Every structure is written in C-alpha cells, then in structure tokens.
Amino acid sequence: MPDRLQQQLEAFERALEGVRDEDSLYALQVAYIGRKGSISLLRRDMGKMSPDQRKQFGVEFNRVKRAIEAGIETRRQFLSDDARRRELERFEDLTMPPRRPEFGSLHPLTRTRRALASTFRRMGFDVEDGPHVEHGRYNFDFLNFLPDHPARDEQDTFFVEPRGDTSSRELVLRTHTSPIQVRTMLARTPPVRIIALGTVFRRDEDRTHSPMFHQIEGLYVDRGVTMADLKATLLQFTGSFFGPGLDVRLRPSFFPFVEPGAEFDMQCPFCRGARCVVCKQTGWIELGGSGMVHPNVLRDCGIDPAVYTGWAFGFGLDRMTMLLHDVPKLRYLFEGDIRFLEQFPC
Ligand code: DAH
C-alpha cells in the first residue's frame, strides 16, 4: 500500500512540472487530493488493513499528502510571481539599474547661518529672531533714526499697508536685523548677549544688490562693556570661523543707533593680508557696521545708560557666503537653480 502512495506522489511530481497555469494546477490538486482524488481514494482500503498496516499507512498517507500540498503551494507561488514578472516586463526593463533617490542638501546660506549661530552660541550668545514685517517704530524710531532719515524713504524701504487699515500706523519689511536689538532690550534686563540672523528687505536691486538679503546682528549690554570687548569678540569670531591669526580693524563711521560708530573689516582670509583679487588688493574684507549702543537707544528701551553700556554689530551673510564658497554672482544664491544648488552636496 505505501508503495502505491509513493507511486502516486511520483506521478504527481511529474505532472506538476508540466503545469503552466493556475487552472491546471487546481485540476491537478483536485485529481490527487480532492475528495475523490487518487490519493484520497486509496484511503478507502484502510478498512481491510490490520492495525499495524493501518498505522503504517496513516503515517505514509500524511507524508505524501503534505508533500503534494507543499508542491502545489510552491508551484502556485511560482506561477503568480511569474505572472507578475511578465506583467512588469510589459512596462519596464527590469535589468535597468534602479533610479537613484534624489537627496536634498542645505542651501549655502543656511550653512553660513548655522555655522555663525554655532560659533556665537559657543561664545555664550543666545540666538533671537523677530518678524519680517516690522513696526516702523522698531525698525527706525527706537534706533534713533530721525523722522526725515533717508532710510525711511520710499526709495529704500518696502512699506506695508495693513489690510483695511489706512491709519498712519507704519509697517515695513524690516530693512535690517537691528529692530531685534530693540525687541530684545525691551523684553530683557541686562546682561543681554544675543545674535540675530535673518532675512531683511530693501528696495535695491542691481548686480551686487538684491531686494532680499540676510544679516547677522550682535548685541551685548552689561555694566562696563567697552569697545575693547567689541573688538575682542570680533577677533574671537573671525578666529573660530576663518582660522586664528586674522586681524580686525575698526574705522570710524556713522549709524544713528551707535555712538561712536565704526565699520569693521577683517584681514582677508585668503591672502591673510598679503593682498589678492578677493580683497581687491587691499588685504582687508569689509564686513559690516558696529559701535557702542547709543544712550538714546538704551534709554528708550528702558535701560539706564548711566549704569549700562553695550556694543552692537551687523553684517551681511550673503557676501560672506559668496566668499566662503567662491560664488561669482549674488543672484545665484536666490534663483533656486538646481544646477547651482547641486554643487553643495551635504
Ligand atoms: N543695521 C545696519 C545696516 O543694516 C548695520 C549695523 C551697523 C548694525 C552698526 C549694527 C551696528 O548693529 O552697530 O546697515
């Protein structure tokens, strides 16, 4: 009897190899292990067997039946995979290498911003920001700009008219990050040590100017703060950002919110003062403005100038980014051209 089971199994296996579709597979399944299948029929003779034979038959029957079920399952899987593969092949060439996922990367300006923030954080500065649409008061008045200062001119500034509000309340797209100084001093008591990094806006557009650009602002107010602290901080900053040993110089200048005011330059990080094309043969790179916070500004922000002094500085991120990455044109930073951005992989 077990021999007949084995014979049936072998016959099944031969038949299985020829099966090419689900229907014939099903027919084969029915023919062998269906209720009236050849294997099932063999069970009918069990009644005639001795208990020992029956036991032996039972073991063998189960083995063969399981082998047939497994064979059918494997074949079914193969047929369905095969069908799927054929289906796909009608549309795609499966031998093509897969399309690589596209990875984004950080915009070079974002990198500069983050690097500056982390440099100043290490020096104990908090990072602050403020709104892009700013009160004229914070953008100008609190910063000691006189009412007729040219910076308030329509030529230089984007004025914003609140919807439905034609009153004289003056809103502007902030023209610099300096209003963040005001907001910080109004909200905090000294010691105050912050930087602010953000987008600023001016009606200015030519080869080297964009109506939207980026600044960093620094502010330190405490008892006994002097211009020497300003210079030391700038030196510390250039040292940790561009490498040690670069000198910084302050040149007298005017900004309404500082007194005295100064422009500050950094020794050219490329030639280290030896004069090159980057620094236009001067040995220096102009970075931005700075000075001691004007007593009027401190007073208006609720800080007693007889007790406290402070310094501030501000400079542009865009030109610095161009310098760092050798970007020839300002507009490349803002066009969002993927061919440019791809040159800064992570
Ligand atoms: N806000 C000035 C500008 O946009 C830059 C500046 C100059 C910022 C002197 C300062 C400063 O904090 O002390 O041109």
- Tally the C-alpha atoms within 13 A of residue 276's C-alpha that lie toward its C-beta: 11
Looking up tokens 């963040």 gives 180
Cβ–ligand 1 distance for 314 under 6 Å, the answer yes
Arithmetic mean of pLDDT, 45-52 = 87
Question: What was the pLDDT predicted at 334?
Answer: 94
Q: Is the pLDDT of residue 297 over 60?
A: yes
Q: Which of 202, 290, 297, 301 to mutate to test the pocket of ligand 1 (most atoms within 8 A of CB)?
A: 290
Q: Is the pLDDT of residue 251 over 90?
A: yes
Cβ–ligand 1 distance for 108 under 6 Å, the answer no
pTM exceeds 0.75 for this model: no
Q: What is the largest CA-CA distance in the chain?
A: 119
Arithmetic mean of pLDDT, 220-244 = 94
Q: Is 201 left (phi over 0), alpha (psi -120 to 50) or beta?
A: beta
Please give the distance, rounded to the nearest whole angstrom, from the Cα atom of residue 289 to the centre of ligand 1.
5
How far is the CA of 48 from the CAs of 8, 162, 175, 312, in angstroms?
Answer: 20, 101, 104, 107
Task: Give 166's pLDDT tier (boundaries 50, 70, 90).
Answer: low
Arithmetic mean of pLDDT, 92-99 = 82
How far is the CA of 344 from the CAs of 111, 112, 119, 201, 215, in angstroms?
Answer: 10, 12, 21, 26, 21
Selection from 306, 317, 242 nearest residue 273 by Cα: 242
Q: Which atom of ligand 1 is nearest to the CA of 257?
A: 13
Selection from 251, 134, 262 nearest residue 202 by Cα: 134
Cβ–ligand 1 distance for 312 under 6 Å, the answer yes
Q: Which atom of ligand 1 is nearest to the CA of 219?
A: 12
Q: CA 337, CA 333: separation in Å to the nearest integer?
A: 9
Q: Is 189 helix (H, G, I), strand (E, B) or coil?
A: coil
Alpha helices in the chain (DSSP H): 2-17, 22-33, 38-42, 51-89, 108-122, 136-139, 179-187, 227-242, 295-300, 318-325, 338-341
Q: Which of 255, 258, 292, 318 to mutate to test the pocket of ligand 1 (most atoms within 8 A of CB)?
A: 255
Provide CB contacts within 8 A for 136, sequence distance 6+. Answer: 152, 170, 171, 172
- What percentage of residues in the chain have a pLDDT greater than 90? 69
Cβ–ligand 1 distance for 290 under 6 Å, the answer yes
Question: What was the pLDDT predicted at 240?
Answer: 86
Go through 7-16 and write b for each residue having 16 or more CB atoms within 10 A of its CB, e for each that does not. Answer: ebbeebeeeb
Cβ–ligand 1 distance for 217 under 6 Å, the answer yes
Q: Which atom of ligand 1 is nearest to the CA of 177?
A: 1
Task: Give 103's pLDDT tier (boundaries 50, 70, 90).
Answer: confident
Task: Give 2's pLDDT tier (boundaries 50, 70, 90).
Answer: low
pLDDT tens digits for 269-287? Answer: 999 989 998 899 999 999 9
Q: CA 24, CA 231: separation in Å to the nearest integer?
A: 89
Task: Give 198's pLDDT tier (boundaries 50, 70, 90).
Answer: very high
